[in-house]
Amino acid sequence: EWKALYEETFGKDFFQHQSDTKFWEKIYTVSDEDIWNLRMTMKNKFINFVRRDFREKWLKNQGDPSRIMSIVDKINPNALIIGFARRFATYKRAHLLFSDLDRLSAIVNNPQFPVQFIFSGKAHPADGAGQGLIKRIMEISRMPQFLGKIIFLENYDMIVAKRLVSGVDIWLNTPTRPLEASGTSGEKAEMNGVLNFSVLDGWWYEGYKFCKQAGWALTEKRTFTDQSQQDKLDAATIYSMLENEIVPLYFAKNSKGYSPEWIQYIKNSIAKIAPHFTMKRMIDDYIERFYDKEAKRSKKLVAHDYAVAKEIVEWKEKVAAAWDGVSVVSINETIDHNSPKTGEAYSTEIKLDTNGLGTSLAIEQVVYKVEDGIEKMVGTEPFKVVGHDGNIVTYELKNKLREAGVFRYAFRIYPTNALLPHRQDFAYVRWI
């Protein structure tokens, strides 16, 4: 259904140009009502799938027909349906939502703003903790206050996943920072007009930055080193965002029965985030950043009986032979280490005996900032060659102190040649 909408709206050649964000921006020309109707179509497909495919499974596995029928009848297309389905590894933190059952009960049992949670997934046969999470969710789903409001779909497979990522309203993801590798289920949901609510980790760390009115996020920063305390804070944040932001936005419905602001979030997510997470975009990146460059370099290296390749080899042999003889003649700095001032200009001059290598050597300053005892790299600043006297080459860096704080810095020498594809191709370095 969404593929047909994209083709109709973006043009029949869209699928050959998925990396072009201008195509995706045409989603803003689709009426809010059409977007809402399509979302409701997919939502009802999902609900019908659950009623049809799981009624028999539940009757077979759980036995109580009246309770099963109660669950089936309570699946509500008018509710805000939140999906959580994936491999049940403990770092995925499926338990977060159940940290405060009273607060969760208040959210799902609000008659004015109904909310339902759909869980599914499997744990590795050897992962007892993951299996325990599933067992706990099953137990909670059978409590009277959560019956039909917290639902676990068994035997998670591609068919269940397909219906979930296209049929729910929100895709929930709560991994322990920074353990999320990617999060491809959220990317699939994105393509189907499903909004993401996730910790800023994996793909959502990048995706959310494209547009913050296209989903919701828990910060990537940890407040507590104790994971149990962090879990409590994250759970409280999830409850608060559901109560104060997400649920009210979904139910801010107009006379036509939908929330224009919610539809705007969907359009933003499709126009501004989705195009950056397609396989086409990834392949384009590989071609542009690597394969094309490799092909051009290969042609350059083999041309004229490998003339460039031979020149590089000769240069590398020369540098390797002379490297141990390179020495520092002098270092002069104008900076006052005892009372430096923000905004103060300074210069550093380094003289090298290049041992015959001349300007085949470069120098850069490497700067780290110390925060809470942890060093974080700020960046590098290159020196300029300002003098040449035989083997003695003079390098200079003019800079200024841009911000306050505790910094560490050092200088490093490395070989440089325009024919190298990158510095790691000849990874000699000396710290001074």
Mind listing the pLDDT tens digit of every residue in the chain (432 residues)? Answer: 999 999 999 998 898 889 899 999 999 999 999 999 999 999 999 999 988 877 766 666 665 666 677 677 778 889 999 999 887 777 777 778 888 899 999 999 998 999 999 999 888 888 888 888 888 888 898 898 998 899 988 888 999 999 999 999 999 998 887 878 888 899 999 999 999 999 898 899 999 999 999 999 987 676 677 777 888 888 888 999 999 999 999 999 999 999 999 999 999 999 999 999 999 999 999 999 999 999 999 999 999 999 999 999 999 999 999 999 999 999 999 887 777 778 788 899 999 999 999 999 999 999 999 888 788 889 999 999 999 999 999 999 998 888 888 888 999 999 999 999 999 999 999 999
Q: Are residues 164 and 85 in the same domain?
A: yes
Q: Are residues 34 and 148 in the same domain?
A: yes
Q: Are residues 373 and 249 in the same domain?
A: no
Which CATH number is 398's domain given?
2.60.40
Q: Are residues 264 and 343 in the same domain?
A: no
> Crossing angle of helices 158-167/32-62, nearest 10°?
140
Question: For residue 312, is it within any domain?
Answer: no
Which CATH number is 9's domain given?
3.40.50.2000
Question: For residue 305, is it within any domain?
Answer: no
pLDDT of residue 61: 64
Question: For residue 47, is it within any domain?
Answer: yes
Q: Are residues 329 and 271 in the same domain?
A: no
pLDDT of residue 99: 85
215, 242, 277: which is the final residue of a domain? 277
Q: Are residues 328 and 272 in the same domain?
A: no
State the pTM of this model: 0.77
pLDDT of residue 33: 97
Q: Are residues 338 and 225 in the same domain?
A: no
Edge-first strand listing for the sheet containing 327-333 = 327-333, 345-353, 392-400, 384-389
Question: For residue 181, is it within any domain?
Answer: yes
277, 305, 340: which is the final residue of a domain? 277
3-class state of residue 329 by DSSP? strand
End-to-end, the C-alpha distance of the chain in Å comes to 62
Question: For residue 286, is it within any domain?
Answer: no
Question: For residue 338, is it within any domain?
Answer: yes
C-alpha R_g of the chain = 30
DSSP structure string for 271-327: IIIGGGGSHHHHHHHHIIIIIHHHHHHHHHHHHHHHHHHHHHHHHHHHHHHHGGG-E
Domain hosting residue 415, numbered range: 324-431
The tokens describing 392, both together, are 């003695």
Question: For residue 308, is it within any domain?
Answer: no
Q: How many CB atoms lie within 10 A of CB 26?
A: 15
Q: Are residues 87 and 224 in the same domain?
A: yes
- CA dihedral 100→105→110→115, nearest 10 degrees, is 90
Q: Are residues 238 and 374 in the same domain?
A: no
Q: Are residues 343 and 245 in the same domain?
A: no
Q: Are residues 330 and 252 in the same domain?
A: no
* Integer Cα distance of 247 and 154 in angstroms: 27
212, 243, 277: which is the final residue of a domain? 277
Residues 6+ apart with CB under 8 A from 47: 75, 77, 167
Q: How much helix, strand and coil, in percent to the nearest 5, is found in the chain? A: 50, 20, 30
Q: Are residues 32 and 173 in the same domain?
A: yes
Domains in the chain, number: 2
Question: For residue 293, is it within any domain?
Answer: no
* Integer Cα distance of 215 and 198 in angstroms: 8
